[in-house]
C-alpha cells in the first residue's frame, strides 16, 4: 500500500446487546482464534492507523483480553442498542484523543465479522482521494457490505442522525462510490451454528 497523506481510524462496535450467543461471543474461537482477534488483525494488516474498539464496562473478559491488544478502548457503562450508538461513541473517543483533521477518515465494520478481509480494507484506503472525499463502500457481486470508509467530516452527520435513522442513511444523504472486491462477502456470527464450517458463506 502506498504512503497515505491522511490518518485512518477503524471503529469496531463491541458494546451492543448480545441477544443469542452470550456477552463474550467475540472471544469464541473461529478457525482456532478468537473472533475479535481476527477482526483486529484484519484492520492492522489492511493498514489502518488506529483501531478503536467500543466495549461495555461489564464485559470484563473481553476488556481483559483486549488489554493485551494494540487497540484503543472506548468503554461504555451501558449497552449501546444500535450500531449508530457505538459509532457515535467511537467518533467521540477519536475526536477527543486524536483531534482528526478534515483529510482524515474513519472506517467501520461490525466486530463479529471474523472473515473481514484485510485486502478490502487496503483497497479502500488506496482508493480514497482526500480532494474528492466521497464515501467508499466495499461491494461483493454488486452488493454493498463491509468495510466502509467515511471522510472525517461525515462524523458531524452521524451526531445529527435521528432516532429512526441508521448508518445506512448516510449513503442516501451523500455521494458514495462502490469499490468492487474479488473476495467473498465477510461472514458474520450471530448464532452458534455460524461458527460451523458448513454454515459459512463461500470464501476464496
Q: Are 43 and 127 in contact (CB under 8 A)?
A: no
* Host domain of residue 45: 8-195
**Calpha distance 14→2 (Å, rounded):** 30
For the entire predicted model, the pTM comes to 0.89
Rounded Cα–Cα distance for residues 166 and 175 (Å): 16
Please check whether residue 2 lies inside any domain of the structure.
no
Residue 96 lies in a domain: yes
Residue 116 pLDDT > 50, yes or no? yes
Residue 22 sits in a domain whose CATH number is: 3.90.550.10
Between 200 and 168, name the one with better pLDDT. 168
Mean pLDDT, residues 107-120 taken together:
95
The answer to whether position 14 is within a domain reads yes
Q: Determine, yes or no, domain membership for 105.
A: yes
Strands 176-180 vs 135-140: parallel, antiparallel or unpaired: parallel
Any domain includes 150:
yes
Q: For residue 3, is it within any domain?
A: no
Residue 1 in any domain: the answer is: no
> Into how many domains does the chain fold?
1
How do residues 125-170 score in pLDDT, each as one tens digit? 999 998 888 999 999 999 999 999 999 999 999 999 999 999 999 9
Amino acid at each position: 500500500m502506498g504512503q497515505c497523506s491522511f490518518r485512518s481510524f477503524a471503529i469496531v462496535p463491541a458494546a451492543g446487546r448480545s441477544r443469542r450467543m452470550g456477552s463474550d461471543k467475540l472471544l469464541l474461537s473461529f478457525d482456532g482464534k478468537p473472533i475479535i482477534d481476527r477482526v483486529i488483525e484484519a484492520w492492522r494488516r489492511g493498514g489502518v492507523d488506529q483501531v478503536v474498539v467500543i466495549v461495555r464496562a461489564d464485559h470484563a473478559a473481553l476488556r481483559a483480553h483486549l488489554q493485551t491488544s494494540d487497540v484503543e478502548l472506548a468503554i461504555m457503562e451501558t449497552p449501546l442498542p444500535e450500531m449508530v450508538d457505538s459509532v457515535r461513541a467511537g467518533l467521540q473517543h477519536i475526536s477527543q484523543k486524536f483531534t482528526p483533521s478534515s483529510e482524515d477518515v474513519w472506517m467501520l465494520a461490525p466486530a463479529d465479522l471474523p472473515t473481514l478481509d484485510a485486502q478490502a480494507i487496503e483497497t479502500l484506503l488506496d482508493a480514497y482521494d482526500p480532494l474528492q472525499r466521497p464515501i467508499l463502500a466495499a461491494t461483493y457481486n454488486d452488493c454493498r457490505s463491509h468495510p466502509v470508509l467515511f471522510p472525517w467530516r461525515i462524523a458531524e452527520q452521524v451526531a445529527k442522525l435521528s432516532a429512526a435513522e441508521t448508518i445506512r442513511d448516510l449513503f442516501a444523504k451523500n455521494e458514495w462510490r462502490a469499490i468492487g472486491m474479488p473476495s467473498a462477502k465477510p461472514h458474520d456470527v450471530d448464532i452458534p451454528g455460524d461458527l460451523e464450517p458448513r454454515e459459512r458463506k463461500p470464501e476464496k
